[in-house]
Chains A and B, each alone.
Chain A
């Protein structure tokens, strides 16, 4: 059974700080890892990672994947109060026939940015 573990589960920092969120996974046949941001209700897509060592970047957010050690990190620099949200990590696997196995999500990291 595929498994995704995120840490920490919650984190409180001050505006301007840099944070690193962790995601480790176990999946029989790995295809991709995705990060989402969930503010009120609808998770919104941030990154999809498929290759090790290639950083994806969007503004102050960046993410990288290590397929050997089976983990990914999400970095947020110069945090702002608007970054407060739950950050979800998900992995996509595939079955023996090559068909998709759907996304398996972690519990998320609840990030609070204090002014």
Chain B
């Protein structure tokens, strides 16, 4: 148990659906992250929030919309996804965003399949 909880663990959705991924951290951290992990590819950083403010958006398509209501919760809202968006979506948190404070703790991920 890493202290970072993601729900749901598995999600199957059609291209016209709207769904949300949820992440909650119980570590008292200030920064939270969304990553995408596809087969045969490195983890790709999608979004970074530090003290609830978005500090990084790595050219992610607008069909992915993050929301960070407080330092403990992070959402990823999904709409009109494409089959190539099927992947493992990982959430992580860290105390801060640099140096030793940037040791990130990951959740177990949501396995997303887009049909």
Chain A residues packing against B (C-beta within 8 Å): 4, 31-32, 34, 36, 40-45, 48, 50, 88, 90, 92, 94, 99-100, 102-108
Instruction: Show 24 A/B contacts (Cβ-Cβ < 8 Å), sorted by A.
Output: A32-B102, A34-B103, A41-B88, A41-B90, A41-B108, A41-B109, A42-B90, A42-B107, A45-B103, A45-B104, A48-B100, A48-B103, A88-B43, A94-B98, A99-B97, A99-B98, A100-B98, A102-B33, A102-B97, A104-B42, A105-B42, A105-B43, A106-B42, A107-B40
- How many chain B residues touch A (CB < 8 A): the figure is 26
A-B contact count (CB 8 A): 62
Asked if residues B106 and A107 are in contact (CB atoms below 8 Å), the reply is no
Residues of the A chain whose Cβ atoms lie less than 8 Å from the Cβ of B45: 102-104
Interfacial residues of chain B within 67-115, with CB under 8 A of chain A in the complex: 88, 90, 97-100, 102-109, 111
Write out the residue numbers on chain B whose beta carbons fall within 8 Å of the beta carbon of A108: 42
CB distance from A5 to the nearest CB of B (A): 10
For the complex, give the distance between the alpha carbons of A106 and B41 in Å.
Answer: 8
Complex contacts, A32 vs chain B, CB 8 Å: 99-100, 102
Contact with B104, one of A31, A99, A103, A107 (Cβ below 8 angstroms): A103
